[in-house]
Chains A and B, each alone.
Chain A
Amino acid sequence: MIELRADELVFAFPEVHPGAQATVNFQRTLRIPDDGQDYPLPPGLGRFPLRHVDDFGRAVPPPWLEHGGVLLPMYQAEALWLSFDGNYLDEHETDYPFALKIATGKINAVSGQPWRAGLHRRPQDYVVVPEQPWLDGYCVERGIIRQFVAMPLGAGYTAEEQVTGKAEFGGLQIMAIPMKREVFERRFPKIKPRRMIMRESSGDVQYCLSDFSMGLAPGGRMRQEISKDPFKLDDWDLAHASRCFVHICNSKDWQAITGERPPTEPPTAAAYTKAGMPWFDYYSEREAVAGSKVLAGLQSVATLGRKRRKKPLPENETMKVDRVINLRPVHLKGRVREYIC
């Protein structure tokens, strides 16, 4: 089952294990320059608001209701990243492991393949939580991603349109698959309580969609590794998968649909850096997956714009980042890349 709590998707599988729970939220962020250089990780500027599509049945396109799920607002050329969190179980001293498949416009963001059922290894088409704390974009090379940037569906920039030639789905698609209970209990047996550990809680177009919907397109390059799955493919409980369609509407349309004001536009990367605010790098010991050849072959928004003699990304000048905070896995629990005003 999937619930929406405080602008966060909560995937829970109590029928598998009482602790089988993972959360996903969508962080607002700076758009890094799309100039061919590799940048560190930008900050999280708070969660995008999420609402049930069903609550706005008369205001959204019929295909959105058919897809179900939730909706969020983005400005054109705004960027986002996905933040993942597991459910830490003290007596097992681990988060309950999950495999998460992420796609944009039903094109897998890790493998570049069209959406298909199940999990696959060659190439790996999912991320593993808690090993993977976040995903900022399309996996184009080992250790390099291209940032998720919102563009209107139908304008030809999105990954979906570049791969399939169609503007059919847009948005984001997520599927969560928990580890099998017997595998979890064998791999992470209960330990005897030694001492109390205080931890923060993790709980807190074919459809004529083009006028309305946004899709995600590849933006600037960023250093981020997608960890290889350290478990066996058979460890995942595919009989208990849940999935969610996340529709993206232009922020201008958000108020018409929901009656709520959209979030303000984030600062530019240059303004943020000039103010002396930090960027981030993250290192883990895990082996990373190789990038997808399909995704590496996509043209970034700026490159396509140049070919079309258009300027789809305002404020795209190259910049120098001086202040970078290095993060390690131990830093992550409950405190992730957040810039606090």
Chain B
Amino acid sequence: MYEAFGRFVRRRREELARERGGYSVRKMAAMLDIQPSYISKIEREEVKPPSEETIIRLAQVLEVDQDVLLALAGKVSADLRGIIVKRPQLFADLLRQIREAPDHAILRVAREIRDGKW
């Protein structure tokens, strides 16, 4: 799991460095306000992935989906945990039911028309 996370971060950083520059380990560490050596260790999979807060900032810097990056680190964001914990039975049941469903079926579940304030 951690290997996937470290490899992904490195690949994405190098991709951005090639495309637009300014994505050296040192510069990215400055953007995240953490030590360059820590970034190197994450990329080399020598340490566990960082905290949820750091992963979310990392996702912003790398311009990737934060939920995808959290999932690569074996984590679920606090807001998703909050949603499930609020109605555990309902969401546990829903997730088990749609576990094997194709993407289009899952998307349909999420496409309910929103009613607002008239």
Chain B: number of interface residues, binned into ranges? under 10
Shortest distance from the beta carbon of B61 to any chain A beta carbon, whole Å: 24
Question: 8 Å CB contacts to B: which residues of A97-113?
Answer: 106
B113 touches A69 (CB 8 A): yes
A52 touches B113 (CB 8 A): yes
B112 touches A243 (CB 8 A): no
**B111 beta carbon closer than 8 Å to chain A:** yes
B111 touches A243 (CB 8 A): no
B111 touches A245 (CB 8 A): no
B113 touches A2 (CB 8 A): yes
Q: Pick the residue among A5, A115, A169, A242 that contacts B115 (CB under 8 A).
A: A242
- 30 A–B contacts from the bound complex (CB under 8 Å): A2-B112, A2-B113, A3-B108, A3-B111, A3-B112, A4-B111, A5-B108, A9-B113, A52-B113, A52-B114, A53-B114, A54-B114, A65-B116, A66-B116, A66-B117, A67-B116, A67-B117, A68-B114, A68-B115, A68-B116, A68-B117, A69-B114, A69-B115, A70-B113, A169-B118, A173-B118, A242-B115, A244-B115, A245-B115, A245-B118
Contacts of B114 in A (CB 8 A): 52-54, 68-69
Question: 8 Å CB contacts to B: which residues of A38-73?
Answer: 52-54, 65-70
Question: 8 Å CB contacts to B: which residues of A1-33?
Answer: 1-5, 9
**Contact pattern, B 87-118, Cβ under 8 Å of A = 1, otherwise 0:** 00000000000000000000010011111111
Give the docked Cα–Cα distance between A1 and B112 (Å). 7
Shortest distance from the beta carbon of A101 to any chain B beta carbon, whole Å: 13
Give the docked Cα–Cα distance between A242 and B116 (Å). 11
A4 touches B118 (CB 8 A): no
Shortest distance from the beta carbon of A279 to any chain B beta carbon, whole Å: 33
Give the docked Cα–Cα distance between A67 and B113 (Å). 11
Shortest distance from the beta carbon of B22 to any chain A beta carbon, whole Å: 27
Contacts of B113 in A (CB 8 A): 2-4, 9, 52, 68-70, 244
Give the docked Cα–Cα distance between A316 and B112 (Å). 40
Give the docked Cα–Cα distance between A305 and B5 (Å). 67
Contacts of A9 in B (CB 8 A): 113
Give the docked Cα–Cα distance between A245 and B117 (Å). 10
Kindly report which residue of chain B lies nearest to residue A11, judged by CB atoms: B113
Give the docked Cα–Cα distance between A69 and B116 (Å). 7
Contacts of A70 in B (CB 8 A): 113
Q: Pick the residue among B115, B116, B118 that contacts A106 (CB under 8 A).
A: B118
Give 5 nearest A-B pairs by CB, closest first.
Answer: A68-B116, A68-B114, A2-B113, A67-B116, A68-B115
Question: 8 Å CB contacts to B: which residues of A117-173?
Answer: 169, 173
Contacts of A1 in B (CB 8 A): 112
B111 touches A52 (CB 8 A): yes
Shortest distance from the beta carbon of B117 to any chain A beta carbon, whole Å: 5
A245 touches B116 (CB 8 A): yes
Give the docked Cα–Cα distance between A244 and B115 (Å). 6
Shortest distance from the beta carbon of A131 to any chain B beta carbon, whole Å: 25
Give the docked Cα–Cα distance between A169 and B113 (Å). 19
Q: Can you add 19 more A-B contacts, CB < 8 Å, to A2-B112, A68-B116? A: A3-B112, A4-B113, A9-B113, A52-B114, A65-B116, A66-B117, A67-B116, A67-B118, A68-B113, A68-B114, A68-B115, A69-B113, A69-B114, A69-B115, A106-B118, A169-B118, A242-B115, A244-B115, A245-B118
Contacts of A5 in B (CB 8 A): 108
Give the docked Cα–Cα distance between A175 and B22 (Å). 54
Give the docked Cα–Cα distance between A38 and B109 (Å). 45
Contacts of B118 in A (CB 8 A): 67, 106, 115, 169, 173, 245
Question: 8 Å CB contacts to B: which residues of A57-93?
Answer: 65-70
Question: 8 Å CB contacts to B: which residues of A207-258?
Answer: 242-245
Contacts of A66 in B (CB 8 A): 116-117
Kindly report which residue of chain B lies nearest to residue A106, judged by CB atoms: B118
Contacts of A67 in B (CB 8 A): 116-118
